[in-house]
Structure 1
C-alpha cells in the first residue's frame, strides 16, 4: 500500500472524552464526530466513544448519521446541520434527532411521518436559536410563528433547544453572556407556548475547558427544568482551543493528540549548489544538498502554504520542506541528518524521539486553524487504529 497513513489512538480518544466529562461536571456531553471525526475516522471514533459511555454523538448531516447508526445502534445521534427535503424519511427510519430552524424542516418531517403511516410516533427534534451567529437558527423575532408551526406538526416533539456561541474562546468576554441572555429570552417564549424541552445545549471545547464554563448553561437549563449538555469537538482529538483571558481548566493540559500522520522516504538524491528543486525553482541549494522525497502532497492534505516553510521529523530530527509542495509529493532537505535511507519513517504530525510537530504548528505556518489541518487529511491517507499496547505515538 502507498506509504502514507494516519495512526489513530482510540485509547487517547477515550481518555480525552473522560477528561472532558469530568470537566463538564453535571452537564452531559454530545461527542462531535462530524467531518470524518475531524479527520480521524468517523466510524471507529464513534464506536469507541459510544462504548466509553457517550450517550450522544453529533454529526453534520443525515448521510453521516445513517453511517454512524450502523455501528452505534444504541446512541442518540444529533444531526447538527439540519435536513434537506428527502432526508426526512431517513431521519425517521434510523431514529436520528435533527436540528431544526426552518419551517421547511417541520414540513418535511411532518410529511414523512404521514407517508410512513407513523403519525402517532413522536419524532424528537432540537430547535436551534440564532443568538448572534447569524448562521443557523431561528431569530427571536421569528420564534413565535415558528412555534405555531411546530404545534401544528403533531408528530414532532421539541426535546431540545440549542444555540451556537461565536466567541467561546474569549473566556472573560461579554459576547457569550449576551448570547446566553438571548437564549434565556427564547426559552421564555418557548415555555410560554407550552413547550417543555428536556435538554438545553450550547458551547464547544472552549466552554467545557473553561473553569465554570458549564455553569451558566447548567443554571439556564435548571431554570426551565431541563438538563444541560455541551458539544466538544476539537478537544476530543487532543487539541484544546487557544483561549483568551483567565479561567482555563487544568484538564486542557492533560489532553493527548489522537492522530499521528506518517509516511516514508521513497527516494533520495544529491544536488549541487545552485541547483533547484520543485516547481518554478522556488528553492535553490546554497550547498551540496541531500534531498528526500515523500509520497504526500496537497491532495493528501499537505497545505501548499507549507512550501519552503514547514518541517517534518526524520530520525528524530527536523527536516525542512524545500521547494513547492506538489499534488502527490513533497521534498525535504536531510543534508544535516546522517544516514537517512529509503524506507525511513517520517512524521508529518506527531512525535518522533524528543521532537514533536502538532496540527497547531502546521496551522500557524499556513495561517489557518488546526480544525482545517486535521479535516483536510484526505481519504486516501488510510487510517490505522491503535490500542494501548500498540500506541507509540
Structure 2
C-alpha cells in the first residue's frame, strides 16, 4: 500500500544545483549541508548524489546523523556542527566524524578517547566572528588553537564561522564578519600552524558575499533549489537558475457539491457565497500542511490554481474547484511544485505561512513518504 500523499525529489535538480554551486565556488571545495534529513529531501539519498558529484565533505547537526551517513557508506569527512558534548564523543570517535569545537572543555576527553582507539581525530574550530550564537570569541581564539595543539591525539584541520546576514545584500555586516574572520585566523601562522581549511560561506555567502568563498563553502538551501533571500533572490537570479528539487502531491478523495451559504470545516471559517464544488484532500497539519494555510493557500488541480477553503484539519483539507472543469476522485493535486504550466514554490508557501522556505521543505519532506525521481 502507498500513501495518497507523496513527496518527489528530483535527482537531476539536485545535480543541477550542485553544479551551479560548484561554478560559483570559484575553486573552493563544496561541503553540502545534509542536516535536518537533507532539508527534508532525504539525508542519505542526497549525500550519495552529492558524493558522486564530488562533494569534499558533509555537514550534519548531530553525531547521530553522521553515524547514519557512515553506515550508509559515506566516506568523506562529516562535520558535526552542533551537539559536540561528552555523551556524543564516543560515537564521534568510533565513526571518525569531525567535531566542530567551540571551546576547550571538550578537548581532554576527546583526545583520551582518540588515544584509546589509537587514532588521531581532526577537529574544526568554530569562531564567533559576528554571528553571536555559538563559538569562541576572537579574543580566545589563539588559546583554543594552542589547546588543540597541546592535545596528543587531536589535529586542527579547519576553522569556520557563520554569516548572520548573508541573505541581506544591502547590509555591510557580511563584509565586517569576513574581515573579523580573516584577521583572527591570520594568527594561525603565528601559532606555527600550517595548512588549515578556512570556511565561512553558506548559500548566502556563496551567492552574495564577495571574498567569502575561501577554501571551502557550505551550501545548504541552494542545493535544494531555493535562493537564501527567498522570492527576491529568485526574481533577480541570472541564468543558469537553481531548480527546486521537491514536489509535494496528493489526490482528491471526494468531490462535494454544496449550496450557497454552506459553512465548511471546523469553526466554519469559510462560508460559500454560491453553489460550490469542493474537493476533499487527505492532507493536513499532520503532513506539514499547517493550519496557518487556512483560507490562504492555493493548490494545483489540472494545471490550474484552486484556493484552500475552510480550516485545515489534521488529515483533511478542502479546496474550491468550482471554476475548474470536472475534477474527479483520484485526480492528482500538487501542493508544492509544478503541474502543467503552473508552479507553486516553497517561497510562496512560506509567505502564506509567515515563515521561510527552509521550514516549508523540512516540514513537507520529513512528514510524508518520499521518493527519488528521474
Specify the alignment match of 1:222 in structure 2.
none
- The answer (yes or no) to whether the contact 1:161–1:197 under 8 Å persists in 2 is no
Query: Which of residues 312, 316, 332 is equivalent to 2:299?
Result: 312
CA apart distance, 1:207: 2.1
- For 1:1-393, what aligned pairs fall within 5 Å after superposition? 1-114=2-115, 116-118=116-118, 121-210=119-208, 213=209, 215-218=211-214, 228-242=215-229, 250=238, 253-377=240-364, 379-387=366-374
Distance 2:83 2:174 in 1: 23
Specify the alignment match of 1:223 in structure 2.
none
1:249–1:107 distance in 2 versus 1, CA, 3 Å: farther
TM-score by length of 2: 0.94
Distance 1:297 1:108 in 2: 46
Q: Secondary structure at the match of 1:54?
A: coil
CA apart distance, 1:188: 2.9
1:255–1:34 distance in 2 versus 1, CA, 3 Å: same
CA apart distance, 1:281: 0.7
1:227-284 Cα deviation digits (max 9, x unpaired): x111111010111222889xx7735x52111010000001121221111111111010
1:215–1:181 distance in 2 versus 1, CA, 3 Å: closer
After TM superposition, the structure 1 stretch with the greater mean CA deviation from structure 2, 364-373 or 85-94, is 85-94
Distance 2:150 2:278 in 1: 68
Distance 2:367 2:361 in 1: 14
Q: Secondary structure at the match of 1:255?
A: coil
1:112–1:38 distance in 2 versus 1, CA, 3 Å: same
1:285-326 Cα deviation digits (max 9, x unpaired): 101111111111111111211100100000111110001111
1:229–1:117 distance in 2 versus 1, CA, 3 Å: closer
- The answer (yes or no) to whether the contact 2:221–2:227 under 8 Å persists in 1 is yes
Distance 2:366 2:21 in 1: 28
Distance 1:240 1:307 in 2: 26
- Note the residue ranges of structure 2 that are not aligned, 5 or more in a row: none
1:117–1:306 distance in 2 versus 1, CA, 3 Å: closer
Distance 1:378 1:238 in 2: 14
- The answer (yes or no) to whether the contact 1:158–1:197 under 8 Å persists in 2 is no
1:87-112 Cα deviation digits (max 9, x unpaired): 11211221211111122332331232
- The answer (yes or no) to whether the contact 2:122–2:156 under 8 Å persists in 1 is yes
Distance 1:196 1:249 in 2: 38
1:338–1:61 distance in 2 versus 1, CA, 3 Å: same
- The answer (yes or no) to whether the contact 2:149–2:155 under 8 Å persists in 1 is no
Q: Secondary structure at the match of 1:32?
A: coil
TM-score by length of 1: 0.90
1:117–1:71 distance in 2 versus 1, CA, 3 Å: closer
Distance 1:117 1:25 in 2: 38
Q: Secondary structure at the match of 1:250?
A: coil
- The answer (yes or no) to whether the contact 1:165–1:202 under 8 Å persists in 2 is yes
1:365-390 Cα deviation digits (max 9, x unpaired): 11110001111125441111112xxx
Q: Secondary structure at the match of 1:108?
A: helix
1:167–1:323 distance in 2 versus 1, CA, 3 Å: same
User: Once superposed, what is the RMSD of the aligned Cα atoms?
Assistant: 1.8
